[in-house]
Amino acid sequence: MAQSPSAAASLGGLGKFTELRQRLVFVLLALVVYRIGSYIPVPGIDPQRMLELMESQQGTIVDMFNMFSGGALNRFSLFALNVIPYISSSIIVQLMGQIYEPWKAMKKEGESGRRKLTQYSRVGAVALAIVQAGSIASMLQQQPGVVYQPGIGFVLTAIVALTAGTIFLMWLGEQITERGVGNGISLIIFAGIVASLPGAVVGTFQQVASGELSGFAILVIVALVLGVTYFVVFMERGQRRITVNYARRQGGRQAYMNQSSHLPLKLNMAGVIPAIFASSLIMFPATMVQWFGQGGTAPTDGGWRDQLNLFLQNLSQALAPSEPLHMLLYGAMIMGFAFFYTALVFNSQETADNLKKSGALVPGIRPGKATADYIDGVLTRLTLIGSIYLVLVCLLPEVIRAFWSVPFYFGGTSLLIVVVVVMDFTAQVQAHLMSHQYEGLMKKANLKGGSRGGLTRG
């Protein structure tokens, strides 16, 4: 029995949607594997003492890393380091690619150069994982009762286990990117952050039940979360399109005259990197006091160690969350890193040179240096607005905790990461659907054309 052309096209479309469904199922199963691995502990740790230690680390770098790992650091599991070493290594390689000439030349080699830099990021991630795992294991040994049998055996075990966990997550992220939908590394971080959300919600409702929070405060918090989420989506999609005219473009044997295009510049070109850098730096004094200091003690003999300890204690108290100095420095660091990182990832002079080589002109602006200065001026204004937006979003959780004292940790940097990852994931799913629709329409048109041809010949 012969199939009609429309039925054949519909079956082809169903096959394409089956492929998308398989990709989505693969992403889901990979994230389930990640969550299971985050509950497998490294041998030699007392879970109860480890939990008590992590509860004392509120407001430090350790607390931030624990949030990104979805509580894996809290349990000191195989995935305690998460993909943080790989992200740090990638950022370092990216920065070096802007200032180190051999790596700058490598970036211009295209796909082969990109693969070499990716390999450097992997090697750097392994090295950072070894260093971080060794540092964490050594620090845990200094905490009474946390490690059952302190010594070189425990340190080596922790280094091997945590480094292997990071390598596995790097591989899993690459598999998600290749066989699934979206960026695998981003989705792993997204899963870790979202995993801590139910606990924060339950803690908030417990405070409502006990009378510590009013129903009105909950309504205000929910409205703020929804409003800030909408604000983040709006700002992340914001672009400034600079009109570009092509006086003459050659396409094969045809010449196209007076074509116009756009040079899109994002409002927030630095992404979440400024917030992560600023959070790490401003939490560093509190972390040093928690790990090495003796809270609340004064100098005993006036030695430099005691003086340093006292200085770190005073600095940690001044930089505690919700303190005016903390908010002021945090906001200033975010703005500074936003300008710094934008200048590294976008070169106005290089963009102007590329436009000049392709015969493109910005209306009313001379090519070359004048175009570079114009683009740089537009980018500076955009970065100023983008940095203010980052400051507002990142300081919102501090304001909520200061006024209502709720266990609301899903904000700031974590909210930015979640929203950006969801936007990217949604865009890629839509791209798959559009490509499948396009292929289905093309098949349908070909089948119609073939059937008409057969009738004509008949």
In this structure, are residues 379 and 264 in contact, taking their beta carbons and an 8 Å threshold?
Answer: no
Please return the burial class of 309, using the count of CB atoms within 10 Å of its CB with bins 0-12, 13-18 and 19+: buried
Q: Are residues 75 and 197 in the same domain?
A: yes
Residue 240 belongs to some domain of the structure: yes
3-state secondary structure of 259: strand
Is it the case that residue 168 has pLDDT exceeding 90?
A: yes
The pLDDT value given to residue 411: 57
pLDDT tens per residue, range 358-383: 888 888 888 888 999 999 999 999 99
Count of CB atoms within 10 A of residue 272's CB?
Answer: 22
Model confidence at 457, pLDDT cuts 50, 70, 90, reads very low
Q: Are residues 317 and 346 in the same domain?
A: yes
In this structure, are residues 329 and 319 in contact, taking their beta carbons and an 8 Å threshold?
Answer: yes
Q: Are residues 219 and 276 in the same domain?
A: yes
Please return the burial class of 392, using the count of CB atoms within 10 Å of its CB with bins 0-12, 13-18 and 19+: middle
Residue 452 belongs to some domain of the structure: no
Residue 275 belongs to some domain of the structure: yes
Is it the case that residue 323 has pLDDT exceeding 80?
A: no
Q: Are residues 184 and 315 in the same domain?
A: no
Q: Are residues 54 and 182 in the same domain?
A: yes
Q: Which domain holds residue 106?
A: 14-210
Average pLDDT, integer, range 213-222: 78
**Dist CA 104 CA 98 (whole Å):** 6
The pLDDT value given to residue 6: 46
Average pLDDT, integer, range 154-177: 94
**Dist CA 152 CA 157 (whole Å):** 8
Spacing of C-alpha 177 from chain mean position = 15
Mean pLDDT, the chain, integer: 79
Chosen domain end from 210, 225, 251? 210
The structure's pTM equals: 0.76
pLDDT tens per residue, range 433-447: 887 666 666 666 666
Q: Are residues 22 and 145 in the same domain?
A: yes
Q: Are residues 27 and 91 in the same domain?
A: yes
- Percent of the chain past pLDDT 70, that is, above it, reads 78
In 3D space, the residue among 176, 192, 198 whose CA is nearest the CA of residue 80 turns out to be: 192
Q: Are residues 256 and 163 in the same domain?
A: no
Residue 413 belongs to some domain of the structure: no
Q: CATH number of the domain at 31, please.
A: 1.10.3370.10
Residue 438 belongs to some domain of the structure: no
Q: Residue 76, by phi and psi: left (phi above 0), alpha (psi -120 to 50) or beta?
A: left
The pLDDT value given to residue 296: 41
Q: Are residues 278 and 157 in the same domain?
A: no
- In the block, which residue shows the tokens 């899109």? 264
Q: Are residues 110 and 220 in the same domain?
A: no
Q: Are residues 182 and 267 in the same domain?
A: no
- In the block, which residue shows the tokens 């989505």? 24
The pLDDT value given to residue 7: 45
Q: How many domains does the chain have?
A: 2
Torsion of CA 152, 87, 76, 400, to 10 degrees: 140
pLDDT tens per residue, range 298-317: 445 556 666 766 776 777 67
Q: Are residues 202 and 222 in the same domain?
A: no
